[in-house]
Amino acid sequence: MSFYVESRRRRYAASVVLAGLAAFPLLAQALDQGFYVSLMSRVLIYALAATSLNLVLGFGGMVSFGHAAFVGLGAYTVALLTSAGAVSAWVAWPAAVAVSALAALFVGAVSLRTRGVYFIMITLAFAQMLYYLIVSLKTWGGDDGLPLAARNILGAGIDLKDDANFYYAVLACLVATLLLVGRLIRSRFGRVIQGIRENEARMEAIGYPVFGYKLACFTIGGALAGLAGALLVNQTGLASPNQMFWTQSGMLLVMVVLGGVGSLYGGALGAAALLILEEVLSGYTIHWQLGVGAVLLTVVFLAPHGLAGLATVVARKRHG
């Protein structure tokens, strides 16, 4: 392990993918396959959520098993604000980010006193507490969740009710997040948190306030998860407690590990691979979960550093 360095080749590949994603709705509409635009919006939203977890997990070295709680909080914030009349995306989405950031600040401040497996379990505990609290609140829909009457209003003549417009809004959020996270991990802050991941005791001895750095990283990760939640509730039209259950947190972890822990595009890659695999397999058989499980097992044994790691190995082999 060392500091994350983004190769020129990888940046080139990323811009090709971005161009493809930008052209995607036009292509789908030309082929009269509008359904796929909505599907890809979902993929991009999960890519954002997984990227936010990868910042905490891959660069900060904190295995958070409750990340879905911050996604869910963002979704509920938007649903509540919208039903209260705050329909503007410029109000509701930043509010979702702020609420999730505050929650992450609190959870992190308590959980970061423990480490290792105990940290995993205590973050899980907080997420489960929130899940049960929301389920029991009948005024917020309880088990059934809280519906969003209509997608938020962006202004400037862009109607998010149109799936293609919503897709571009999601894509813009994802690109902004990737730029932000990329910037962050190259900065001094990013070097310090990666240093802490490698050797916490040494960083502490050098004089860095380790707890503060980790808490900041955890909070930023939570805030970005809140943004993913705000987008998710707009996509599905429902803020549901199921979005906060521990299996969802597990799913996000699986996406990150599948894509590549501690690789800038790892989270996005894993989210896309998993969701598209699910979609393709479920078209062939109702027992698609069996296939997903088999693919995940294969990845664990054949590609220990995830898909991003696999790409690096292939590229190295080809270019000697």
Partner 1 sequence: MTQLVLEQALNGLQFGLMLFLLAAGLTLVFGIMDMINLAHGSLYMVGAYIAASVAEQSGSFVLAVIVAVGATAIIGALLELAVLRRLYRRDHLSQVLATFALILVSNEAVRMIWGDQPVMLAMPEALSGPVEIGGFMYPAYRLLIVVVGVVAAASLYLLVAKTRLGMWVRAGASNREMAQAMGVDVRRLFTIVFAIGAALCALAGALLGPLLAVQVGMGESILILAFVVIVIGGIGSVRGALVGSLIVGVSDTLGRALLPTLLREIVPLEIAASLGPALASILIYLLMATILFWRPEGLFPARA
CA 71 – CA 249 distance, rounded (Å):
9
Instruction: Pick the closer one to partner 1 by CB: 25 or 222.
Output: 222
The pair of structure tokens assigned to 224 is 């970005």
Beta pairing class for 238-239 and 146-147: antiparallel
Using CB under 8 A, pick the residue from 8, 287, 317, 319 that binds partner 1: 287
Residue 236 near residue 100 (C-beta atoms within 8 A): no
Q: Is 212 exposed, middle or buried (0-12, 13-18, 19+ CB in 10 A)?
A: exposed
- Give the residue, chosen from 85, 157, 283, 304, that forms a contact with partner 1 under the rule CB under 8 A: 304
Stretch that binds partner 1, among 5-13, 26-34, 135-143, 218-226 (CB under 8 A): 135-143
Structure tokens at 291: 């296939």
Contact flags string 25-64 toward partner 1, x per CB under 8 A: --------------------------------x-----x-
Transcribe 83-152 into DSSP letters.
Answer: HTT--BHHHHHHHHHHHHHHHHHHHHHHHTTS-THHHHHHHHHHHHHHHHHHHH-GGGTGGG-EE-SSPP
Residue 303: phi and psi, rounded to 5, are -130, 80
122 binds partner 1 (CB under 8 A): yes
Non-local (6+) Cβ contacts of 274 within 8 A are 251, 254, 255, 258, 292
> Considering beta carbons, is residue 7 or 289 the nearer one to partner 1?
289
Name the one range near partner 1 by CB under 8 A: 8-16, 88-96, 186-194, 295-303. 295-303
Specify the residue, 25 or 145, whose C-beta has the smaller distance to partner 1. Answer: 145
Task: Answer whether 234's CB lies under 8 Å from 78's CB.
Answer: yes
Q: Give yes or no for residue 113 binding partner 1 (CB under 8 A).
A: yes
* Region near partner 1 per CB under 8 A, out of 111-119, 205-213, 224-232, 234-242: 111-119
Binding footprint of partner 1, residue count (CB under 8 A): 42
In the list 49, 261, 268, 311, the residue contacting partner 1 (rule: CB under 8 A) is 261
Please enumerate in sequence order all residues whose Cβ is within 8 A of that of 302, keeping only pairs 6 or more positions apart, or say none: none
Which of 9, 118, 172, 205 touches partner 1 by CB under 8 A? 118
Of 12 and 118, nearer to partner 1 (C-beta) is: 118
Which of the residues 193 through 252 are near partner 1 (CB under 8 A)? Answer: 246-247, 250
Q: Which one of the spans 114-122, 155-163, 197-205, 226-234 is the region binding partner 1 (CB under 8 A)?
A: 114-122
**Is 106 a binder of partner 1 (CB under 8 A)?**
no
In the structure encoding, which two tokens stand for residue 114, read together? 């423990």
Please list the alpha-helical segments (H only) found in the chain: 8-30, 35-54, 67-83, 89-111, 117-136, 163-186, 188-198, 200-206, 210-236, 246-259, 266-284, 288-302, 306-319
110 binds partner 1 (CB under 8 A): yes
User: Residue 313, interface with partner 1 (CB under 8 A)?
Assistant: no
Least distance from C-beta 202 to partner 1, angstroms?
A: 20
Q: Which of 72, 7, 74, 42 is nearest to 265 (CA)?
A: 7
Residues that bind partner 1 (CB under 8 A): 57, 63, 110, 113-114, 117-118, 120-122, 124-126, 128-129, 132-133, 135-139, 246-247, 250, 253-254, 257-258, 261, 287, 289-290, 292-294, 296-297, 299-301, 304
